[in-house]
Structure 1
Amino acid sequence: MNRRDFIKSMAATGAAGLLAPLRAIAGPLLSVNYAEGAPPYSYAVDGTVHGLLPDSLDFLLGEKMGFGLRHRTFPWKRSQLLVRQDDGDALCTTPTPERRLYLDFSAEPVVRTKTYLFYSATNPRAEAIQGIRTLEDLGGFQVVNYLGDAWMYSILPAGLWVYRAKTVQEAFHLVGKNRQDVFIGSLPDVKGTLSRLRLAPPVTCHEIENPRTASFHLGIRKQYPEVRDILARFDALVRRERKSGALDAVIAGRPKDA
């Protein structure tokens, strides 16, 4: 997205999505779309986008590679559609065959995760839920997920009915109120996620086996100038900053030199 198109897009869509302040404008501009209401990955506080994904990209693309970044949140399906329509340059998400049709992805993951099963401690079936160890054990339970999470729908057992909430927060709310039994989520670290949501009654979780655990990669639209060169440099940077511990520090919310 060139500077003129970027400014026009900001004026046209600024009211529709939540915007984070731009980083330095001296370098190339990259507009990144995220899922709204999806802590710890992406969420808004007082109109500013926060989370593991924008924080990591601010560090890697902004601080280290010199990009000017605009972060926007929308319902996840819309975020993806807008990038397909060239209203936005990038996503940070799990590569899928459909997304690869319009995005080139980094080889290196920005965020790696584990898979957790979330449920209410007050659920009448809590003891049975505690026995769930694999995705195949979900039969007979009410499962909730959120719209646009193509990765999760791709790994669930065939024939399993899933209630589709509008956002991650709504999914957790339904579980917390025992209106659905379980929510499956992938997180780099479960600490902090439940406290951010402040659910009552409390939601608890345990890790389950999943050979296809999600990882989040930078995906840039195929028409973006020099996209393959950008991603090659990005991959080298991710490897270097992960080896140094700086990227993990950003994800954990620690000082990068800690």
Structure 2
Amino acid sequence: MIKPSGYRCWRKFKPFAFLAVFLALPGVSLGSTKLSFAYSEASEPYSSSIDERAVGLFPDLVKLAFSFIPEYTTASVVLPWARAQYNVRLGLQDGLLTYPSEERQDYAIFSAKPLFTQDFGNLVYSADNPNVELIESATSFADLSGLTVIVEKGSKWEEDNIPAYLERVPGQNRVAMMHFLMLRGAGDFLVQPEVDARFIAQQLGYSKQLKVRKVDFIPNSSVPFHIGVSRKLPYAKELIDQVDAVIQNPEFQSQAATLIENYR
């Protein structure tokens, strides 16, 4: 029997043709898709860089979330925060973990529920402060009206949520703010998450003097951080749907709670 001229070619390439058809089927791949997440290079303990590698709570939480989605793996890029956001906007990086502001929602799709919630409902002060009794008895910002609060320069949240009648001393960053509070006595208190305050105080040698008081009169004190992925990703919506399913998984919630507690 004489075979058609294309038969030999089909026999030769048949496995490759089958593979191409196989890979075209929905849900079939030869491995995980790698997603690049951008983090701030100077936001310890949430994210920072060691040997050009992202470390901190946020990279660990994102890695944990995607360990429940075997179709994807994550890589980390550590950048100045403004650059990190810009890269996600352009699709140069795939995702980030941050507060889903209206501006950020223009270029990223965010999970419905937060991966982490930052609690700003704390007064941070020194045990040596002469106004310590007033700070510890205050039931409103009005009670603190004669004191000075140290704020972070350019912080929109502090502008919106700490009353304008309080005298302010601006610090360039959280480290400078802690020095102003503990070393220079330039102000009486900070409004800050406990995790941040204790971490920075430990790094600077102020742990013994540090006092943190949880209060209920600070507005909008719970700041949620959601996973967001660039709208440039063609499968962004499907990816976020999978992330939302993971966040509701009791096993993930248990492991995430343990991870967060390890950073306190």
1:173 maps to which of 170, 179, 203: 179
Counterpart CA distance in 2 for 1:196 and 1:248 is 23
Residue 223 of structure 1, CA deviation:
2.1
Q: Which structure has the larger Rg over C-alpha atoms?
A: 2
Q: How high is the sequence identity, in percent, across the aligned residues?
A: 23
1:205 Cα offset (Å): 0.7
| Matched residue, 2:224 | 215
Q: What is the alpha-carbon distance in structure 1 between the residues aligned to residue 91 and residue 128 of structure 2?
A: 45
In structure 2, relative to structure 1, the CA distance for the partners of 1:244 and 1:31 (3 Å cut) is closer
Q: Which runs of structure 2 are paired with 1:1-258 in the superposition (5 Å)? A: 26-34=32-40, 36-45=41-50, 47-61=52-66, 63-65=67-69, 66-74=72-80, 76-114=81-119, 115-135=121-141, 137-147=143-153, 149-158=155-164, 160=166, 162-177=168-183, 178-187=185-194, 193=199, 196-200=202-206, 202-209=209-216, 210-212=218-220, 213-241=222-250, 245-253=254-262
1:221 is aligned with what amino acid?
S
CA distance in 2, matches of 1:242, 1:113: 21
Aligned residue in 2 for 1:5? none
- What is the rounded CA distance, in whole Å, between the counterparts of 1:224 and 1:159 in structure 2? 45
Gap change, CA 1:191 and 1:108, over 3 Å in 2: same
After superposition, the Cα gap between the structure-2 partners of 1:121 and 1:218, relative to the gap in structure 1 and judged at 3 Å, is same
Unaligned runs of 5+ in 1: 1-24
Whole-Å separation in 1 of the counterparts to 2:161 and 2:152: 14
Deviation at 1:118, TM superposition (A): 0.8
Q: Look up the equivalent residue of 2:45 and give its one-letter code.
A: P
Distance 2:169 2:87 in 1: 25
Distance change in 2, residues 1:249/1:123 (3 Å): same
Aligned residues: 226
Q: 1:112 and 1:202, CA in 2 relative to 1: closer, same or farther beyond 3 A?
A: same
Q: Is the 8 A contact 2:39 2:54 kept in 1?
A: no
Normalized per residue, which structure has more helix?
2
Residue 241 and residue 193 in structure 1: after superposition, are their counterparts in 2 closer, same or farther (change >3 A)? farther
**SS at structure 1 position matched to 2:45:** coil
Shift of the 229–162 alpha-carbon distance from structure 1 to 2, 3 Å rule, reads farther
- SS at 1:245 equivalent: helix
2: CA distance between counterparts of 1:138 and 1:91? 37
> Residue 117 of structure 1: SS of its match in structure 2?
strand
Secondary structure (helix, strand or coil) at the match of 1:174 reads helix
CA contact (8 A) 1:30 1:68 kept: yes
For the residue of structure 2 that corresponds to 1:31, the secondary structure is strand
Please list every run of 5 or more consecutive structure 2 residues that lacks an aligned counterpart in the other structure.
1-30
Between 39-48 and 229-238, the greater mean CA deviation after superposition: 39-48
Q: State the distance in 2 between where 1:233 and 1:163 align.
A: 44
Distance 1:216 1:136 in 2: 30
